[in-house]
């Protein structure tokens, strides 16, 4: 019997561990093109953070979900940077004069990735699915009575009341068109295809290794011949911000949207001639940073106190400090860049004026006491964007100058939603509201008294209730005439700019960072979050 | 010709008492089940106290939701009902080895965990192995030349490695080897999009793993170095060492075969504890290098209040800790014949 002595065993064991742990660095000649798969001409490497939970965006519309979904699943329409609709799966459309009937002519000879033909039945099915499961779908398609496939290439929608924003709600990310022959309405959310989607888009799903990457490959049967001009789309999931920055520097990442690197680093990108940035491609998702007040608190229910706070804030400072210059100050909650016709070009009725702020607080019955302290308030910072946090800290130091002691609460997403929307234990919050593609869809929920609901996040957090505002918003929601609608929105903005239940501060700008060899990705209002069929490598 | 005093380098002529290992194994198994159950119940209770649940987070991420959709989701994911009901339901599922489904990822928890488990195991085991080998060698060197220049120099390096946080070291390594020199990749665990086999596959994996393993190991090298040094200095003063030297054995043989082997006890204990700690605690390294492992998954699960996933990971971790501690016990029994398992 062979007895292994302890000596031999330990000897062999240490040899084994050394072999397992060490040799790679001795073989550096094997590590040639370190930029791994990004160097090959056919692969576009997109950085994603955080990892999307599913690859289909009809029920979950978190940012990266939309980015991943819109390459495989398309929408009926796409939009220019000024939100003018253009054909995608629908080639033409008409709206009846009373705004109650929509007819879409759909593209012919489009095939799903599994070879079956795309028909109007698929479009009808997808719209009804959106109405049922989409976080905004119940609102967007609330007035929808019926969606029917008149024939294989004609879709008709019948509405109970007009919905002037409906035509803008049909982008790939917002209302993806799903294959009705592979989905059941009742089990759609748990369908395993949500993790390996089948669509009509320029790219097909190939592989998803959770935590690491998603691979899409070119669809050779895409209905736009010759497109896409990229062989493989590789989504890398990189959770660490420093790692993303390094990835761009060393060329292993080609493109990333929604500010993938710290805003403070963007001026330093000059040192890397192969990198460039753009703020285009976010017109359908305009986010306004706002300071929201909980109007159920006695202090903040007083208009003078809110005015005093408004006088103490300098939007230019917020633009520079909190957003490193990547923001546009705005007084009106409907921004000019996305909605030039609805935007109210108003002067700030409460400009930066510390003296005035102090006077107002004195008059409101909050004199300075010992230590210059008037009152204390809590401020919750929305954790979904770093800029909100920095704005909250700016607000704290700004209000300190008028004697208000602000305690900033920074929480993780789950706790934030609970504190502000469920428990409502907040005085003020710095939050961002996206107007999305239409003020009725994005903005109404913040000001409309009927959307107040403690169980639903991002509804009316301040508990604002103004019957005139309600009337204006409800009228604008069903007004088909653009001019009249613009008039309603402008009057609405006049009121809320004066009453400031929330103070609109700045419109934040998202930045897309990209390698100069990539082009053709920001042709639409959705930018990289669209189907990027036009993307290609600028050949040198 | 051997002296009458018997050297102890081979198995003693007297057989060890039979079944020395079995009592240890039996004891571990007896204690394992209540331990794991206790961990699960305690964590379940703790998680209920955290504000917000997964549906809140999903609604937050989507930028809004409706009452109906949230209620429907809560029912689907079994989040309606009292804490007691949910705990009983969960334990009942466990009895059939069903870890449940993660609502956010829409995939079975077992699948999510098993996808990441090999990556984390590889990282942690390699990191600890490297740390032990290098740490012990460094400790031996420090003990051999205790008080003299090599010891002082190594102690200083040791201190630096101990004091510098892991992510700092990791970032510096990335800057040097990946950005400046371009020798090694900075992110991920394998080259994507190519299928490799055999030696190529191993090489590719090692290239990606090298920096994370080194980052993970640096702190523990310092720990094991100090431990070895202290233990060896203490053992060196024992009588049997003096005897060995008096017998005329070579100094290296004395150092390794007699002193070191007896000094390994504290190291194995610590290694067992560290393995348990590292298993979920490699989150920083994993995040830094984009390594798809369990640490990051745990972090995500906590942030998104994905309790099913979290409990599944906790169950796995506690089981692994129990097993590893048992193995360490057995290892120590084997290393030191004097220990008797109770």
Q: Per-residue pLDDT tens for B208-245?
A: 999 999 999 998 999 999 999 999 888 888 888 888 88
pLDDT number for residue A36: 39
ipTM above 0.85, yes or no: no
Distance of alpha carbon B41 from alpha carbon B46, whole angstroms? 9
User: CA nearest B182 in A: which residue?
Assistant: A34
Burial B26-39 (b: 16+ CB within 10 A, else e): eebeeebeeebeeb
Answer yes or no: is pLDDT of B268 > 90.
no
A327, A309 contact by CB (below 8 A): no
Name the CA dihedral angle for A401, A407, A409, A410, rounded to a multiple of 10 degrees.
50
pLDDT number for residue A78: 92
Among residues A206, A193, A201, A269, which one has the least CA distance to residue A235?
A206
- Confidence bin at A7 (pLDDT 50/70/90): low
Among residues A418, A61, A368, which one has the least CA distance to residue B57?
A418
Please provide the average confidence, as pLDDT, over all residues in chain B.
82
| Interface contact flag, A210 B105, Cβ < 8 Å | yes
pLDDT number for residue B280: 65
pLDDT per residue as tens digits for the range A403-422: 999 999 998 888 888 888 88
Tokens for B69, please give them. 């959709």
Q: What is the DSSP letter of B165?
A: -
| Interface contact flag, A60 B61, Cβ < 8 Å | yes
Q: Chain A closest CA to B256's CA: distance in Å?
A: 10
Q: Chain A closest CA to B33's CA: distance in Å?
A: 31
pLDDT number for residue A364: 92
Q: What is the mean pLDDT of the segment spanning B14-43?
A: 76
Determine which of A318-322, A433-437, A482-486, B51-55 has the lowest per-residue pLDDT on average.
B51-55
| Interface contact flag, B52 A242, Cβ < 8 Å | no
- Beta strand spans in chain B (E): 101-102, 107-108
| Interface contact flag, A210 B116, Cβ < 8 Å | yes
**Using a CB-CB distance cutoff of 8 angstroms, which residues of chain A are in contact with residue B109?**
none
pLDDT number for residue B254: 85
Q: Which of B78, B184, B187 to mutate to test the interface with A (most CBs of A within 10 A)?
A: B187
The more confidently predicted of residues B212 and B30 is B212
Task: For chain B, give the percent of residues with pLDDT over 70.
Answer: 89
pLDDT per residue as tens digits for the range B153-174: 999 999 999 999 988 999 899 8
| Interface contact flag, B192 A215, Cβ < 8 Å | yes
**Using a CB-CB distance cutoff of 8 angstroms, which residues of chain B are in contact with residue A18?**
133
- Confidence bin at A18 (pLDDT 50/70/90): very low
**Using a CB-CB distance cutoff of 8 angstroms, which residues of chain A are in contact with residue B194?**
37
Determine which of A51-55, A116-120, B196-200, B246-250 has the lowest per-residue pLDDT on average.
B196-200
End-to-end CA distance of chain B: 39
Sheet of A287-293, strand order: A327-329, A502-508, A287-293, A428-434, A375-381, A404-410
pLDDT number for residue B130: 93
Q: What is the mean pLDDT of the segment spanning B9-34?
A: 68
Q: Are strands A255-256 and A375-381 parallel, antiparallel or unpaired?
A: unpaired
| Interface contact flag, A246 B179, Cβ < 8 Å | yes
| Interface contact flag, A414 B305, Cβ < 8 Å | yes
Close Cβ partners of B54 (under 8 Å, ≥ 6 residues apart):
A414, B77, B79, B103, B104, B304, B305, B306, B307
User: CA nearest A246 in B: which residue?
Assistant: B179
| Interface contact flag, A212 B304, Cβ < 8 Å | no
B135, A14 contact by CB (below 8 A): no
Close Cβ partners of B186 (under 8 Å, ≥ 6 residues apart):
A243, A246, A247, A250, A252, B174, B178, B179, B211, B289
pLDDT number for residue A41: 57
R_g over Cα of chain B:
25
pLDDT number for residue B299: 86
Q: Chain B closest CA to A160's CA: distance in Å?
A: 21
Q: Which residue in the set B171, B185, B303 is minimally distant from A34, CB to CB?
A: B185
Task: For chain A, give the percent of residues with pLDDT over 90.
Answer: 57
Q: Chain A closest CA to B30's CA: distance in Å?
A: 30
How many Cβ atoms from other residues are within 10 Å of residue A6's Cβ?
16
Answer yes or no: is pLDDT of A10 > 80.
no
Task: For chain A, give the percent of residues with pLDDT over 70.
Answer: 92
**Using a CB-CB distance cutoff of 8 angstroms, which residues of chain B are in contact with residue A234?**
192-193
pLDDT number for residue B60: 76
Distance of alpha carbon B107 from alpha carbon B219, whole angstroms? 36
| Interface contact flag, B56 A453, Cβ < 8 Å | no
pLDDT number for residue A34: 34
Q: Which residue in the set B56, B133, B182 is minimally distant from A250, CB to CB?
A: B182
User: CA nearest B171 in A: which residue?
Assistant: A242
pLDDT number for residue A40: 47
**Using a CB-CB distance cutoff of 8 angstroms, which residues of chain B are in contact with residue A247?**
186-187
pLDDT per residue as tens digits for the range A510-532: 999 999 999 988 888 888 888 88
pLDDT per residue as tens digits for the range A61-89: 877 899 999 999 999 999 998 889 999 99
| Interface contact flag, A138 B182, Cβ < 8 Å | no
Answer yes or no: is pLDDT of A313 > 60.
yes
Q: Where are the alpha helices (DSSP H) in B237-260?
A: 239-247, 251-253
Q: Chain B closest CA to A247's CA: distance in Å?
A: 8
| Interface contact flag, A212 B11, Cβ < 8 Å | no
**Using a CB-CB distance cutoff of 8 angstroms, which residues of chain B are in contact with residue A453?**
67
Q: Which of B67, B290, B298 to mutate to test the interface with A (most CBs of A within 10 A)?
A: B290
Q: What is the mean pLDDT of the segment spanning A109-118?
A: 94
Q: Chain B closest CA to A481's CA: distance in Å?
A: 28
- The count of CB pairs under 8 A between chains A and B is 221
Q: Which residue in the set A60, A210, A459 is minimally distant from B112, CB to CB?
A: A210
pLDDT number for residue B258: 82
Q: Which residue in the set B61, B105, B179 is minimally distant from A249, CB to CB?
A: B179
Answer yes or no: is pLDDT of B261 > 90.
no
Please provide the average confidence, as pLDDT, over all residues in chain A.
87
User: CA nearest B71 in A: which residue?
Assistant: A455
| Interface contact flag, A212 B290, Cβ < 8 Å | yes
Distance from the Cα of residue A131 to its chain's centroid: 20
Among residues A68, A72, A62, which one has the least CA distance to residue A48?
A68
pLDDT number for residue A539: 67
Would you tell me the crossing angle of helices B149-163 and B198-236 to the nearest 10 degrees? 120
pLDDT number for residue A5: 58
**Using a CB-CB distance cutoff of 8 angstroms, which residues of chain B are in contact with residue A414?**
50-54, 56-57, 60, 303-305
| Interface contact flag, B60 A139, Cβ < 8 Å | no
pLDDT per residue as tens digits for the range A444-458: 888 988 878 777 777
Determine which of A421-435, A483-497, B255-269 has the lowest per-residue pLDDT on average.
B255-269
Distance of alpha carbon A197 from alpha carbon A179, whole angstroms? 10
Answer yes or no: is pLDDT of A187 > 90.
no
The predicted model scores a pTM of 0.79
| Interface contact flag, A21 B304, Cβ < 8 Å | no
The more confidently predicted of residues B134 and B305 is B134
Sheet of A275-278, strand order: A203-209, A213-218, A232-237, A43-48, A255-256, A512-515, A275-278
Which residue reads 């991002």 in tokens? A458
Close Cβ partners of A14 (under 8 Å, ≥ 6 residues apart):
B133
Q: What is the mean pLDDT of the segment spanning B20-28?
A: 78
**Using a CB-CB distance cutoff of 8 angstroms, which residues of chain A are in contact with residue B257?**
7
- Confidence bin at A170 (pLDDT 50/70/90): very high
Task: For chain B, give the percent of residues with pLDDT over 90.
Answer: 17
Q: Chain B closest CA to A484's CA: distance in Å?
A: 28
Phi, psi of A434, deg, nearest 5 = -95, 130
pLDDT number for residue A11: 54
- Confidence bin at A6 (pLDDT 50/70/90): low
| Interface contact flag, B183 A34, Cβ < 8 Å | yes
Largest CA distance in chain A: 99
pLDDT per residue as tens digits for the range A121-161: 999 999 998 888 887 777 788 889 999 999 999 999 999 99
Q: Which residue in the set A25, A212, A246 is minimally distant from B174, CB to CB?
A: A246
**Using a CB-CB distance cutoff of 8 angstroms, which residues of chain A are in contact with residue B107?**
195
């Amino acid at each position: 019997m062979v007895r292994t002595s302890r000596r031999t065993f330990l000897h062999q064991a240490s040899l084994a561990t050394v072999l397992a742990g060490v040799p790679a660095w001795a073989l550096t000649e094997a590590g040639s093109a370190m930029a791994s798969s990004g160097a090959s001409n056919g692969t576009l490497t997109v950085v994603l953070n955080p990892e999307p939970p599913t690859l289909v965006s009809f029920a979950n519309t978190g940012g990266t979900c939309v980015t991943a979904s819109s390459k495989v699943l398309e929408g009926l329409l796409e939009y220019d940077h000024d939100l003018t609709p253009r054909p995608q799966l629908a080639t033409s459309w008409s709206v009846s004069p009373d705004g109650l009937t929509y007819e879409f002519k759909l593209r012919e000879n489009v095939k799903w990735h599994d070879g079956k033909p795309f028909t109007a039945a698929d479009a009808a099915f997808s719209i009804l699915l959106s109405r049922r499961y989409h976080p905004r779908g119940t609102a967007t398609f609330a007035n929808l009575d019926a969606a029917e496939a008149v024939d294989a290439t004609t879709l008709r929608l019948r509405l109970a009341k007009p919905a002037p924003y409906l035509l803008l709600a049909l982008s790939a990310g917002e209302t993806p068109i799903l294959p009705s022959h592979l989905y059941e309405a009742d089990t759609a959310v748990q369908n395993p295809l949500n993790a390996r989607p089948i669509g009509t888009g320029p790219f097909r799903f190939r592989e998803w290794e959770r935590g690491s990457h998603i691979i899409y490959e070119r669809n050779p049967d895409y209905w736009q011949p010759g497109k896409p001009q990229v062989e493989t789309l590789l989504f890398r999931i990189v959770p660490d911000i420093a790692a993303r920055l390094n990835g761009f520097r060393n060329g292993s990442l080609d493109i990333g949207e929604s500010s993938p690197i710290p805003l403070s680093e963007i001026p330093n990108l000059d040192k890397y001639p192969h990198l460039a940035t753009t703020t285009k491609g976010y017109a359908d998702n305009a986010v306004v940073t706002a300071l929201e007040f909980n109007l159920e608190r006695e202090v903040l229910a007083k208009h003078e106190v809110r005015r005093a706070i408004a006088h103490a804030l300098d939007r230019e400072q917020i633009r520079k400090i909190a957003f490193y210059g990547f923001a546009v100050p705005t007084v009106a909650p409907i921004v000019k860049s996305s909605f030039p016709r609805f935007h109210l070009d108003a002067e700030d009725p409460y400009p930066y004026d510390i003296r005035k702020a102090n006077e107002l607080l004195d008059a409101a019955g909050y004199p300075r006491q010992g230590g210059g302290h008037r009152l204390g308030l809590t401020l919750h910072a929305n954790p979904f964007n770093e800029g909100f946090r920095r704005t909250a800290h700016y607000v704290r130091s700004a209000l300190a100058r008028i004697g208000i002691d602000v305690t900033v609460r920074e929480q993780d997403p789950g706790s934030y939603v609970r504190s502000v929307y469920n428990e409502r234990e907040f005085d003020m919050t710095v939050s961002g509201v996206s107007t999305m593609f239409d003020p009725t869809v994005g903005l109404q929920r913040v000001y409309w008294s009927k959307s107040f609901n403690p169980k639903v996040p991002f509804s009316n957090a301040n508990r604002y209730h103004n019957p005139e505002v309600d009337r204006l918003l409800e009228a604008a929601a069903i007004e088909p005439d653009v001019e009249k609608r613009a008039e309603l929105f402008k009057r609405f903005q006049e009121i809320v700019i004066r009453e400031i239940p929330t103070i609109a501060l700045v419109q934040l700008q998202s930045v897309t960072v990209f390698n100069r060899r990539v082009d053709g990705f920001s042709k639409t209002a959705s930018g990289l979050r669209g189907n990027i069929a036009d993307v290609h490598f600028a050949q040198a | 010709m051997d002296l009458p005093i018997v050297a102890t380098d081979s198995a003693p002529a007297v057989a060890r008492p039979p079944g020395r290992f079995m009592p240890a194994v039996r004891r571990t198994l007896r204690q394992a089940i209540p331990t794991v159950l206790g961990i699960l119940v305690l964590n379940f209770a703790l998680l209920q106290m955290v504000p917000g649940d997964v549906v809140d987070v999903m609604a937050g991420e989507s930028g809004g939701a409706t009452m109906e959709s949230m209620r429907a989701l809560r029912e689907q994911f079994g989040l309606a009902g009292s804490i007691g009901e949910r705990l009983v339901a969960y334990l009942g599922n466990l009895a059939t080895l069903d870890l449940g489904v993660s609502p956010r990822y829409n995939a079975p928890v077992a699948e999510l965990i098993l996808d990441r488990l090999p990556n984390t195991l590889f990282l942690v085991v390699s990191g600890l192995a490297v740390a032990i080998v290098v740490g012990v060698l460094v400790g031996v060197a420090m003990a051999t030349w205790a008080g003299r220049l090599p010891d002082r120099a190594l102690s200083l390096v040791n201190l630096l490695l101990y004091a510098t946080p892991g992510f700092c070291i990791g970032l510096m390594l990335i800057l040097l080897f990946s950005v400046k020199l371009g020798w090694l990749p900075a992110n991920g665990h394998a080259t994507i999009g190519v299928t490799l086999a055999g030696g190529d596959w191993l090489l590719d994996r090692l290239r990606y793993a090298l920096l994370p393993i080194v980052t993970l190991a640096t702190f523990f090298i310092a720990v094991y170095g100090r431990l070895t040094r202290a233990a060896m200095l203490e053992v060196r003063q024992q009588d049997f060492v003096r005897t060995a030297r008096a017998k005329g054995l070579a100094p290296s043989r004395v150092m390794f075969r007699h002193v070191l082997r007896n000094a390994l006890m504290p190291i194995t204990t610590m290694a067992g504890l560290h393995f348990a700690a590292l298993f979920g605690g490699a989150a920083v390294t994993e995040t830094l290098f984009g390594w798809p492992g369990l640490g990051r998954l745990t972090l995500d699960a906590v942030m998104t209040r994905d309790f099913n996933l979290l409990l599944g990971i906790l169950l796995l971790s506690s089981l692994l800790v129990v097993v590893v501690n048992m193995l360490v016990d057995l290892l120590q029994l084997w290393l030191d014949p004097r220990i008797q398992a109770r």
